[in-house]
Chain A
Amino acid sequence: MRDIVANAWRELRRRKLRSFGAVGGYLLACAFIVAIVVMLQFDLQSKHATVSYMGARFLAYQPFVRTTDPDAVGRPLDPVNEGFFTEPTVVTQLLPKNLLEKIAAIPEVRAVAPFLLYRFKQGENGHIFSVGAYDPTYQNAVRSTLVSPKDLVSGAFFRAGDSNVVLVDKSYADLWDLKVGSVVVIGDMLYPIIGITASHARTARADVYMLWPDAVTAINKRLGRQLADEANIFLVEANGIEAAPVAMKKVEEVLQQGHANPVVCMPPVVKFMGLSHDTLRLVLAIVAVLTVLFAMNSQWSTVAERRHEIAILKAIGWKDASIFLQIIAESLLVALLGSALGALVGYAGFLAISTSMGARVSLAYHVIRVPLTILAIMLVALLTGILAGLLPASRAARTRPAEVLRTL
C-alpha cells in the first residue's frame, strides 16, 4: 500500500500542471460545496431555531363571540373602549385559572401561565393602551412568551417585594416619551416606571406590564364585577415545533370552545425551509456530477498519456490489479488533496461571509457541526475520486502490453 501511495504521489508531482488542474477542480468544487453547505446549514439551523422558538409557543383563549353572558367578560364599565382582549382586537372571555392544571397535564405542553390582557382608556379624551398582568410564579412560561429580564432596554425588572410599579414596552414609551422614573396613569392611580422593555416579536405583549395583584386591583376598578381567580389568556409553550400542532389542538379541547393562536405564521416558513433543503440537494447533486465528470476526464487523459508506461510496467511483471489500484490511488490522492484544500478555502469563505453579515455563529457550530460537515463532504469527495478513477483504471488494467510496445 505504501508503494502505491508513494508512486501515486510521484506521478502527481511529475505531472504538475495536470495535477494542479485536477486538484484545483476538486478544490473549487469542495470549497463551493463546503461554503454553501455550512452557510445553508447555519441558515436553516437559525431559521429552525427561530421557527421553533416562535412556533412552539401560542396563546389560548375563548373569543367573546361564542357567549352572550356579560359576566363572561367581567362587565366592563366602558365596554366600547375597554375590556379583555387579545391581539389584534379579539374580545375574550374570562376563564377559570384552574384550567391551567389541565393544560399543564397535556404531554405536548412544556409550560403554561395565566395572563390578563386588558385594554384601558386613559381619561375622558385619553388614549387607549393595554395592560398585561405579569405573574412571576410561572416564570418558565412567561419569560419565553411574554417578557423577561433579558428584554430590558433600561431600568430594572420586577423584583420580589415590588408593588405598584410598572414596566413599559419601548414602542409605547417612545410614543409618549416615557423614561425610567416617569409615571403612567392607570385608572385613577399613578405608577412609576422602573424599566423599559424591548419591543420584540413575542407570543404576547402589552404596552404596560404590571405585577398580577396590582393589575387585578387596577382592572377591578374598571369592571362591574370583581375578578375571581380568572385569566383571559393562557400562555403556552409546547414541547418543540413538531409537538405544537397537537398541543394546540388538545388545549382547544380543554378550553372547549377555545382557540389556540400561534401568532407567527410558521407553516409557510417551514415550507420555505423545505425549499431551501431541496435547492441545496439539487445544487450539490449538480456540482457532484460535474466534479465526477471533470475528474474522470482528467484521469482518463492521464491514463491515455501513460499508455506506454503502463505497458512497460505490465511487461516487467505488474499485475492488472496493481495497475488498477495505482490509478485509483492517484485519483483518490487528487480527491483527498483537492477536497482538503477546498474544505479550508470553503470554511474561510463561510467565515468571511458570516462575519460580513454579522451572523453570530456559536462555538459548538464551529467545533462540532463544521468539522462533521467537512468530514462528510471529504468522504463524498473520496468516493467521487474512486468513481472517477474506476473507468480509467479499468482501461489501464486492460492495456495490452504486446500491442502497445509493438506499435512504438
Chain B
Amino acid sequence: MEPLLRVEKLSKSYHTRGHEVKVFADVSFAVNAGELLLVTGRSGVGKSTLLGLLSGLDRANSGSIFFQEKEITGLSLAELAELRASSIGMIFQNFNLIPGWTARENVEAVLMHRGISAAERQKRAADILSELGLADRLENLPAELSVGQQQRVAIARTLVNDPVLILADEPTGDVDPETAAEIVELLLPRVKSGRAAMIVASHGLFDTKLATRVVCLKDGSLSETAQ
C-alpha cells in the first residue's frame, strides 16, 4: 500500500541577519492512512515548522513531500491552498478561531470560495457541530464558549471538509487533561477507521500510547523512538 504522505530528505533553515539557522535537515518519514504519528521534541526544535511544510504553509529549502503520491513541494500557493481546503485539516494549539465569527461561521469558513452553496455550507457546519455536542451553540462567538467548546469548534472546522490528513500542533498543550482526552477521543475514531492519517506535534503532554508511531525531532534530525 502506498503511504498517504511521504517525506524525503526535507531540510529547512532560516536566514536571520545574515546568519543561517538550520532547523532540521534530511528528514524522511512516511505516514499511512489509519496511522497516528506523534512528533515529539523540546520547544523550538522545529515541530511546528515541520507541520507548516507538510501543510504547504511554508516552503522547504530542499527535499520532497509526496501527498497521495503527488509531489506537493513544487505546487503553487493557490494549489497548496486548494489542497488544504480539500484534503488537509489543521488543529492549532490555541484553537485559532476567528473571534468575530460565530461557531457556525468559523466552521463554514473552510467551505467558502469552493463553489459550495451557502445553504449546503450552513447545513454541513451545523451537522458537524451538532455531532460534537454544540447544536445549541451555533450562533455563539468564541468568547461566549468555554475552552472545551472552543476546541470542539476547532475540531469541527478541521473535520468539516472530511480531510484525509489531520495535522495537529500541540492540540492538548493549553487544555486540562480531561479536555485533552476529549479532543483525542473526537479525532481518533476517524484515524482508526482508516479514513485519515494524523500527525501530532507535541512536546510531551500527548499520550504516546495513542500513537501508532513516535518520532523525535532533536538537533535537526528525526529519529523513531521505541514505544
Contacts and interface: CB of A to CB of B under 8 A. Distances in A.
Interface of A: 2-3, 6-7, 10-11, 14-15, 308-309, 312-322, 400-403, 405-406, 408
A405 B96 contact: yes
B194 interface: no
Contact of B118 (A3, A14, A402, A408): A3
Contact of B98 (A6, A312, A317, A322): A312
Given A316-B157, A402-B58, A408 B109 contact: no
22 contacts: A3-B113, A14-B100, A309-B98, A309-B99, A312-B96, A313-B109, A314-B57, A315-B84, A315-B90, A316-B84, A316-B109, A316-B110, A317-B86, A318-B113, A319-B77, A319-B82, A322-B112, A400-B58, A402-B49, A402-B52, A403-B58, A405-B96
Interface string B107-121: 001101110001000
A318 B110 CA distance: 8
A399 to B, nearest CB: 11
B209 to A, nearest CB: 29
B55 interface: yes
Given A312-B98, A316-B157, A321 B57 contact: no
Contacts of A315: 55, 57, 84, 90, 92, 96
B194 to A, nearest CB: 24
B32 interface: no
Given A402-B52, A406-B48, A318 B98 contact: no
B216 interface: no
Contacts of A14: 100
**Size category of the binding interface on chain B:** 20 to 34
B28 interface: no
A320 B77 contact: yes
Nearest to A406: B48
8 A-B pairs with least C-beta separation: A317-B85, A402-B58, A402-B52, A402-B57, A14-B100, A317-B84, A319-B81, A322-B113
B78 A320 contact: yes
Nearest to B105: A10
Which of A3, A14, A317 is most buried by chain B, counting CB atoms within 10 A of its CB?
A317
B112 A3 contact: yes
Nearest to B110: A316
A7 B113 CA distance: 11
Nearest to A7: B112
Contacts of B77: 319-320
Contact of B82 (A11, A15, A317, A405): A317
Contacts of B52: 402, 406
B140 interface: no
B94 interface: yes
Contacts of B112: 3, 7, 318, 322
Q: Which of B82, B94, B98, B161: most chain A Cβ within 10 A?
A: B98
Nearest to A314: B81
A320 B96 contact: no
A7 B109 CA distance: 10
Judged by DSSP, the binding face of A is helix
Contacts of B98: 309, 312-313
Contacts of A312: 96-98
A316 B78 contact: no
A319 B78 contact: yes
B113 A408 contact: no
A28 B207 CA distance: 60
A377 to B, nearest CB: 32
B55 to A, nearest CB: 7
Given A11-B100, A309-B100, A315-B96, 6 more contacts: A2-B118, A313-B98, A315-B84, A317-B83, A318-B85, A402-B58
Contacts of A406: 48-49, 52
A317 B77 CA distance: 10
Contacts of A3: 112-113, 118
B41 to A, nearest CB: 15
Interface in B8-49: 48-49
Nearest to B169: A405
Nearest to B48: A406
Nearest to B51: A402
A94 B114 CA distance: 89
Nearest to B97: A312
A402 B114 CA distance: 22
Interface string B69-97: 00000000110011111100010101011
Given A405-B92, A408-B94, A317 B100 contact: no
A308 B101 CA distance: 14
Contacts of B58: 400, 402-403
A321 B90 contact: no
Given A315-B90, A402-B52, A406-B52, A320 B81 contact: yes
B106 to A, nearest CB: 9
Nearest to A321: B78
A316 B92 CA distance: 11
Nearest to B89: A316
Nearest to B86: A317
Contacts of A7: 112
A163 to B, nearest CB: 86
Interface string B171-192: 0000000000000000000000
Contacts of B157: 316
A15 B101 CA distance: 12
A309 B95 CA distance: 12
B96 A319 contact: no
A309 B58 CA distance: 17
Contacts of B113: 3, 318-319, 322
Nearest to B121: A3
Contacts of A400: 57-58
A350 to B, nearest CB: 39
